[in-house]
Amino acid sequence: MMTFILFLFSHSLFAGDLLTQKKIFQLGDYTTVEGKKIPAVQIGYETYGTLNSDKSNVIFITHHFSGNSHAAGKYTTADLEVGYWDNIIGSGKVLDTDKYFIIASDSLVNLTPFSPKTITTGPASINPKTKKPYALTFPLVSVEDFVHVQKKLLDSLGVQKLFLVAGASGGAAQALQWAASYPEVVERALLVIPPGLSMPDYTVALLNLWSMPIKLDPNWRKGHYYGRSAPEQGVAESLKMITFSALSFDWASNFKREKYSPSTLESLDSRFKIETFLDERAKLRGKLVDANSLLYTAKAIQTFDIRSKIDSLRAKFLFIPVETDLIFPPLLSERASKELCDKKINSHVSTLKTSGGHLDGLLRIHESSQVIADFLADKISFCP
């Protein structure tokens, strides 16, 4: 049975701010691609704008590794932060809420189940049979599973076509998976700071490293930490690595080798300011993160691979890598686009030439608004 329940957040309309609310999609039973049954599956979502009468104006947004369905707007005007892509989603922006009906979705095994902005089902969820958290008894899932669950959400809204599916980083992997799993649904795919058509081995290894500190933390206890001390240190170190990977040399150079302690040769614990910054940020973010869910998300992203489905793709593709990206450098987009063009599939690459690394796919994506607008208006020239 599918039902929709309004979540905690209420809102009052106010000029200037896009105000939104969290919604829950309750799917019920879901069977994974690998054949494992999960009961009581639910994910969160938000919508911006209005669905038109023929349901032809739908944009679906999938989120990045450490993100969630809060892609734009605020829950109340008093909120200090807006959603991660607020710079391109809203009235008059390139993903124009006056024109499009935009759905931003959570994914399975989201690594921030303790955030009020996230609704997900994963290893930290309560197993209805045991009334305890699943921990590692939760089945491993893939990006394909993320997308199948999201498709059920779309079905529940009565939407049969996506004018656009869009995502950044791990969200781009999901958007590509959408185009591969549901070619008859997806008309366009916008891939920002994306992998290619599969997760490169380099990033497979990077995801292994992001997972490593959690497994090293003695509090992890092979996943059985619920109701006990959580592996907070491991989670913080994982997040520190993730933040570090998403940045760049030029971003880091802003710290100007400033020292936090008088002499860094004072003790092994003395720090440069960049170290302190990364540690403090990671510790703060860690409060919302479930260690097992991070491991599950990493595993799902590692296994992303749509190469075998390339012949069935029908969407038009726009890749926007960031020139200084150290996780998914532009060459991955260029190679993926060439593979698509070789198959006579419409594809275009437009590199964002900024200095901030991977994270600029969120922070500075509005600088690519013109090429996105051209893509949405079918005014772009595809393939050489």
Q: Annotated catalytic residue: which of 290, 305, 325, 360?
A: 325
Sheet containing strand 37-48, strands side by side:
3-6, 23-31, 37-48, 101-105, 58-62, 164-168, 188-192, 316-320, 347-349
- Smallest distance, its own copies to C-beta of residue 245, A: 10
* Residue 137 found at the interface with its own copies (CB under 8 A): no
* Residue 199 found at the interface with its own copies (CB under 8 A): yes
Q: Are 169 and 63 in contact (CB under 8 A)?
A: no
Fill in the amino acid letter for 158.
G
The verdict on whether 325 is a catalytic residue reads yes
The verdict on whether 115 is a catalytic residue reads no
Size of the site for its own copies (CB under 8 A): 58
* Residue 241 found at the interface with its own copies (CB under 8 A): yes
* Residue 272 found at the interface with its own copies (CB under 8 A): yes
* Residue 254 found at the interface with its own copies (CB under 8 A): yes
Q: Where are the alpha helices (DSSP H) in the chain?
A: 143-156, 170-181, 201-216, 232-245, 249-252, 273-286, 291-302, 330-342, 360-363, 369-376
Q: Which is nearer to its own copies, 32 or 76 (CB)?
A: 32
Task: Using alpha carbons, select from 208, 217, 218, 209 the residue that is nearest to residue 235.
Answer: 217
**Stretch near its own copies under the rule CB under 8 A, chosen from 73-81, 154-162, 329-337, 368-376:** 329-337
Q: Which is nearer to its own copies, 174 or 198 (CB)?
A: 198
Long-range contacts of 89-93, Cβ-Cβ distance < 8 Å, separation of 24 or more: 89/18, 89/48, 89/61, 90/18, 90/48, 91/18, 93/366, 93/369
* Residue 262 found at the interface with its own copies (CB under 8 A): no
The span from the CA of 60 to the CA of 49, in Å, is 12
Q: Which is nearer to its own copies, 165 or 332 (CB)?
A: 332
The verdict on whether 358 is a catalytic residue reads yes
Q: Which residues bind its own copies (CB under 8 A)?
A: 34, 136, 140-142, 198-202, 204-206, 208-209, 212-213, 216-218, 223, 233-234, 237, 240-241, 244, 247-249, 251-257, 263-268, 271-272, 274-275, 278, 295-296, 299, 302-303, 305, 326, 329, 331-332
Active site residues: 169, 325, 358
